Structure 1
Amino acid sequence: MNRLLPIEWLAALRFLNEGRLQTLFIVGGVAVGVGVIVFMSALLDGMQANIFRRVLSSQPHIVISRPKDVARPLRVSHDGQIIVANVQKRSQIVASLDQWRKVREQMRRRGDIVAVSPTAGGSGFAIRGDASQSISLVGIDPQEYAKIVPLPDKLVAGTFRLTTTDMIVGTQLADDLGVRVGDKLRVATASGASATLSIAAIFDLGSKGVNQRNVYVELATAQNLLNLVGGVSNIDLTVADPFRAEEIAQQIGGQTGLLAESWIKTNNQFFLGLNAQKFSSYLIRVFVGLSVAAGIASVLVVSVVQRSKEIGILRAMGGSRGQVLRVFLIQGAVVGLAGSLVGSALGTLLLEVWRLAARNPDGTPMFAVSVDYGLYLWAAVLATLTGLVAAVTPAVRAARLDPVAAIRG
């Protein structure tokens, strides 16, 4: 097999074999760096996905509603000029979206939107005996809305069923009013309408405010209670790429003339926190990569000094500068690749240890962590390239050695 290998490969592998201790140190350094990158990448991705899922599991990516009523001047002169700058904002009333069915069909035709659900929402009161609680009444089409917010997966009691006489309430509201599945509550709204509904299920969306406030009813029920017969107040959307939600919302606003608000706008601090976390993780990976490259370069520089006589002999036997250059580039690539393979195994082992150690008080995993197998491929490619780049300076130095001076030492 050795006869099939070019002289550069034979020399590179021989140098690595003769300096086993150095080779082991450099491969170990690369392995630690790659292991840290694999472990941190999987851990941070899992953490971000968990936080992202928890925040967005209780809300749509984009909400389309009527534009806010504009403010009006309080005083105007006889010629129509405003003479008093004081402006009073009009009170906002629950009103239906104009031509909402047409807007819904437009949204369904967009390739970047995966789910569309019209809703009728407004404020009201849940009343049981002498106790009452202010609520946010949300009328939904159960099948469509489940694609926006996975309510069936969030139920802690009852079944996901909504008829004109059913309601689904949160755990906090159920505790406050002392009710459970099968009990009845009277729901009243500012329009003067009221209805007595039966609790079909109780949900937990992971937010005390949402669990205390949101009450889900069938769309027709909410339309009657909110005096929106045949109308809807919002159209909720889920997009294919949540991080493009604000861009898509602006496009929708320009297309329809309606108010389109994305989760990025309504959760701006959370979005900025996610971006900061991603940026910091990238910086950590870059600095780990730089430290790995520095380690490879330093060891290969020492190898050039130690192998100067062999390099001189190789040149004296007719070896070209290019061949000497390739010898050390091959060494850098080999140790980078070997280190990436060992590091990937080390990162996977660390993730398994973390899965066993990181547990909630009830014994369940803190959050799901999985490794994209493409990460292993990228780790191997980047570590190999890092080894090549780190070997450039030592390789150039070796190629420039004078054969006679090198042999004489």
Structure 2
Amino acid sequence: MSPRLLWTDWTIALGFLREGRVQSLMITVGVAVGVAVIVFITALIQGLQANIIERTLGTQSHIRLLAPDEINRVLPAAPGTVQLLQEDKRAQRLRSINNWQQLLDTLDRLPQLRAVSPVVSGPAFARRGDAVVSVALTGIDLARYQRIIPLSRYLVDGRLRLGADEALIGSVLAEDLGLRVGMKLRLETGEQQSSVVNVAGIFQLGVRELDARYVYLGLKQAQPLLDLPGGVTVIDLTVAEIFAAERIAERVGRLTGLKAESWIQTNAQLMNALSAQSLSTNMIIVFVAISVAFGIASVLSVSVVQRTREIGILRATGATRPQILRVFLIQGALYGLFGAVPGCAAGYLLVWVFNTYGPGLFQVPIPAMLVVPALLLATLTGVLAAAVPARRAARLDPVVAIRYV
């Protein structure tokens, strides 16, 4: 197709649009409203999902590596005998991951992982005077753990420091035991181990259960308290692509021989909620696109009827059926494109109004990448909506069309 012929098609299509200014304006406004709804709803759902994920994953790792479960070893039956076996699952004791230092070196080199942190954790009792509270004792390498959970962001009092005989405790635990920064706390484990620590800082993760139970110690201080000198019970990992955590966990599990649990596996209900939100967003986009398509198709159908005589004259003067088809397809594309531009602007304006004057529960990001898909979707919708009217216009007999009144 020559550029000159294509330019002619564009000129005719623009001429038709200018002749029906009122119709063109109305359908353009309709497309703009549809695109604005798509942009705003998409941005809103993305912002809501990002907020939920940040609140959920802000206090946990993306992947946890643990030692494989211990299983019972059954001795084979003696030759010529029948063995009847009733097996109970073996109770899992607190134990260390074998060769965890070497595993850290291997995991640090994997490009899919952003952070790797060894952790030793187990149950303990926190005692102050006559008050005793059950806590989750967690020994960490603070520099590494900060890349998993940024404790500095959640610190509400004291200093982020885990020196010898120092601990970080949750705000609810501090309130329950009447503790302040600088006061002492006794930690006792079931292995008859105990230690008196100074409260170096108080954090607030925003989850009451965690703020009421978590006590952070240095890794080397927590290991003997849990009767695991030199050992770790968990290796926490974070990944760049959080929704690929399940696939990466399977790969890391095969590589290390450890049991790998991703956040997707441990937060199945959250994933169901996110999937439902994404599905609802896609359904809204589809229904809005369908309504926009019907509007464009209706206007072009009326345009074909109104311009039957002009189409007949074009055919009589040498315009081919494919050329008439292209003229109306171009009209549909222009309706979509001209409506999408102000629609995108209106969508971003709605996002700004929500962020500025909304309830303030969370901020909706304004992703620039939404513009291109919105323009493409509106233009493609216009072309598809114009297909039937364009085909009808191309099939008009020129003699009959010229006689049309």
Q: TM-score, normalised by structure 1?
A: 0.94
% identical equivalent positions: 50
RMSD of aligned C-alpha atoms? 1.9
Q: CA deviation at 1:10?
A: 2.0
Distance 1:160 1:29 in 2: 56
Q: Deviations over 1:147-169 (max 9, x none)?
A: 11111111122221111221111
Higher mean alpha-carbon deviation, 350-359 vs 231-240, is at 350-359
- The equivalent residue for 2:249 is 249
Paired residues for 1:12-23 under 5 Å: 12-23=13-24
* Letter in structure 2 aligned against 1:378: P
Distance 1:106 1:265 in 2: 24
Residues 13 and 93 of structure 1: is their aligned pair in 2 closer, same or farther, counting only changes over 3 Å? Answer: same
- Say which of 377, 387, 397 aligns to 1:402: 397
Q: CA deviation at 1:76?
A: 9.4
Structure 2, unpaired ranges of 5+: none
CA contact (8 A) 1:72 1:88 kept: no
* Letter in structure 2 aligned against 1:8: D
Q: Does 1:24 align with 2:25?
A: yes
Aligned length: 400
Q: Deviations over 1:289-334 (max 9, x none)?
A: 1211111111101110011111111112222222211211111111
- The equivalent residue for 2:61 is 60
Structure 1, unpaired ranges of 5+: 360-364
- The equivalent residue for 1:114 is 114
- The equivalent residue for 1:197 is 197
Distance 1:96 1:84 in 2: 30
CA contact (8 A) 1:65 1:235 kept: yes
SS at match of 1:88: coil
Q: CA deviation at 1:72?
A: 6.2
- The equivalent residue for 1:303 is 303
* Letter in structure 2 aligned against 1:190: G
Residues 103 and 82 of structure 1: is their aligned pair in 2 closer, same or farther, counting only changes over 3 Å? Answer: farther
Distance 2:261 2:326 in 1: 57
* Letter in structure 2 aligned against 1:369: V
CA contact (8 A) 1:76 1:84 kept: no
- The equivalent residue for 2:70 is 69
- The equivalent residue for 1:350 is 350
Distance 1:401 1:21 in 2: 25
Q: CA deviation at 1:77?
A: 7.2
Higher mean alpha-carbon deviation, 46-55 vs 174-183, is at 174-183
Distance 1:325 1:112 in 2: 50
SS at match of 1:381: helix
* Letter in structure 2 aligned against 1:347: G
Q: TM-score, normalised by structure 2?
A: 0.94
- The equivalent residue for 1:83 is 84
Residues 267 and 82 of structure 1: is their aligned pair in 2 closer, same or farther, counting only changes over 3 Å? Answer: farther
Distance 2:15 2:271 in 1: 53
- The equivalent residue for 1:362 is none
Distance 2:319 2:143 in 1: 74
- The equivalent residue for 2:52 is 51
Distance 1:153 1:356 in 2: 24
- The equivalent residue for 2:388 is 393
Q: CA deviation at 1:226?
A: 0.9
Q: CA deviation at 1:358?
A: 2.4
Distance 1:400 1:44 in 2: 45
Q: Does 1:42 align with 2:37?
A: no
Distance 2:6 2:83 in 1: 89
Q: CA deviation at 1:258?
A: 1.4
